[in-house]
Amino acid sequence: MTEQDHKPLRLAIAGLGTVGVGVLKILQKNGELIAARTGRAVEVTAVSARSRDKDRGVDLSAVAWEDDPVALAARDDVDVVLELIGGSDGAAKSLVEQALNNKKHVVTANKALIAHHGAGLADIAVAKGVALNFEAAVAGGIPIVKALKESLQANDYGRVYGILNGTCNYILTEMEETGRDFADVLKDAQALGYAEADPSFDVGGIDAAHKLAILAGLAFGYDIDFDAVQVDGVEQITANDINLSKSLGYRIKLIGSTSLIDGALAQEVGPMLVPHGTPISDVSGVFNAVAVEGDFINQCFFEGPGAGEGPTASAVMGDVIDIARGLVTPPLGLVGGGRGPAKVADKDAHIGAFYVHLMLRDEPGGMAAVTNIFSDHDISIASMLQSERAEIAGDPVPVVLITHETTAARLNVAISAISGLKANAALPRVLPIATFGE
């Protein structure tokens, strides 16, 4: 190390919420350990947050305060800016852009910012010769960003998939274990702090889609393209779906998956049926998991806490420690920039088996009409569950079909035809069946 390398690394923290306070606690408790591991002290010199007067349980008396977080980017006593504000635009984006342009390293936990603007920000970081690190933006305490852009880079990646939102995983786990329906479990998740007052980003799949877009960019080298992610949430999953899936040997999980299909990049987030006994099916509660498939590793599976003060702050500090050691790697893993925009895979290109949940009126000919439609579209049925007959003739009863492998395009045409049947009483629910781990 040079003399400069032994000087303290000076941090500015923008945002003193859960993660920002967690960073301060880590430095307070493990500062000497971190200095021993990096060969230099790491200290906070300036902060910014909405309120100066709030009691955060940490001592801020020795640090400078900026009311405007963007002002941190111009301070002479700052080497690294930690952007922990959140949001894809506004102050977060302005701060990161100015910090990079001022040749300051940036560490962020902001998945929305990287998902929407990662390619442009990476270009600035490379041009200025500084780090743009975002381990904490994906899967909390799981070191998946570093794994994809460093440890596993000798591999040609085939597919990356996983459980990327702890809120949804908690809800689906509780629905299975207690038999309660979605709305009831969501209230519990909010009371426990696992879900926000407005949970739409989580349960609607947007949070997982931000993370998946980042993983896709890292794995395949194309520009991060959040708008190309096919997104579905878990709001329509019922306790009946959970129970029926279980009886068929599956669990329902919100899965994000990305791969190349004939040179086009597929990115999809949505509920899927995963077979019992596979590693991804056994991830419960608020935990996250990511699987990486590569030509020389076969598969690596990562599981751990996906959010929270400690795990996320730990990921932030891992990025800071890299900078303290003088390690600056290309933000998206490719020297000289990425491959540019990807060709987007057709949303109907998915090939596989599907779970089809129908509500059919209990009347003669209804089921025969459904099977005829499947036959007309060359879709074969692997198994079927049909409830007992309705107490009142003509009332709807649930019917679940598991198809053999087919294309999403073909199935969609068949489902459209089934929706128009007189016997059909509700919008059919279709979920893909994963082959992960088989």
Parallel, antiparallel or unpaired: strands 42-48 and 9-14: parallel
Relative orientation angle of helices 111-128 and 206-220, to the nearest 10 degrees = 30
Does the annotation count 29 as an active-site position?
A: no
> What is the b/e burial string over 376-414, where b = at least 16 CB atoms within 10 angstroms of the residue's CB?
ebebeeeeeeeeeeeeeeeebbbbbbbbeebbbebbebb
Token pair of 221, please?
């080298």
> CB atoms < 10 A from the CB of 112, how many?
21
How far is Cα 69 from Cα 380, in angstroms, rounded to an integer? 59
- Laid out side by side, the sheet with 9-14 consists of 64-65, 42-48, 9-14, 80-83, 105-108, 132-133
- Laid out side by side, the sheet with 354-361 consists of 381-386, 396-403, 354-361, 429-432
Of 83, 93, 139, which Cα lies nearest the Cα of 116?
93
Candidates 104, 111, 211, 253; catalytic one: 211
Give the count of alpha carbons within 13 A of 203, CB side only: 21
Secondary structure (DSSP) of 335-402:
TT----SPPBPPTT--EE-EEEEEEEESSTTHHHHHHHHHHHTT--EEEEEEPPPPSSTT-EEEEEEE
Length of the chain: 438
* CA distances in angstroms from 339 to 84, 221, 336, listed in the order given: 29, 6, 10
Parallel, antiparallel or unpaired: strands 250-261 and 264-275: antiparallel
Residues with catalytic function: 211
